[in-house]
Amino acid sequence: MKWQTAKIGIFTLIPLFLLLPFSYHSSLLINGSITKGVVTGQQTVLINEFYTDVATYAEITFETSKGLFVFYGPDNYVLKKGTVVSVIYNPEEPTNCCLYHWFVLYMNPLLMVTFILELLLFMGYWYLRYELKEKNLT
């Protein structure tokens, strides 16, 4: 009886974890406007002084009805200067924007955390299933 409750709990949490990545850019995907932007440069930032780790960000400029805006793309997503890219932004607040590309929209840190948590839940489920099976056989 306890095992059935745990199984129901585990499989109830998994769909919730699956929905987490979509909340990161969901407002942009639903209410955002798409425009074209141009990569105007690259900026390299020192992340860790001890190991001299650096991250490179593409500087992207796009124009809306409210003016010209500049933002930085995701770290280490290399784009050549002059490349035209699609940008999705909030028409009411254009500073809330990102590249309109599957990699940027779905491959974010929240997705990675979700994937790791789901993997841990799955491994726990199979471990408990194997342990209970072993106890019932002996």
Task: Give the C-alpha separation, 55 to 45, whole Å.
Answer: 5
Whole-model pTM: value is: 0.62
Q: Can you give the residue ranges of every domain in the chain?
A: 1-25+108-138, 32-100
Render each residue's pLDDT in the chain as its tens digit; 138 residues: 455 555 656 666 666 556 555 555 777 877 889 999 999 999 888 777 777 778 888 999 999 999 999 999 888 788 899 999 999 999 999 998 888 877 666 666 666 677 777 778 878 887 887 777 777 754
Please classify residue 11 by burial: count the beta carbons closer than 10 Å to its beta carbon, then call 0-12 exposed, 13-18 middle and 19+ buried. Answer: exposed
Q: Note the pLDDT of residue 60.
A: 95
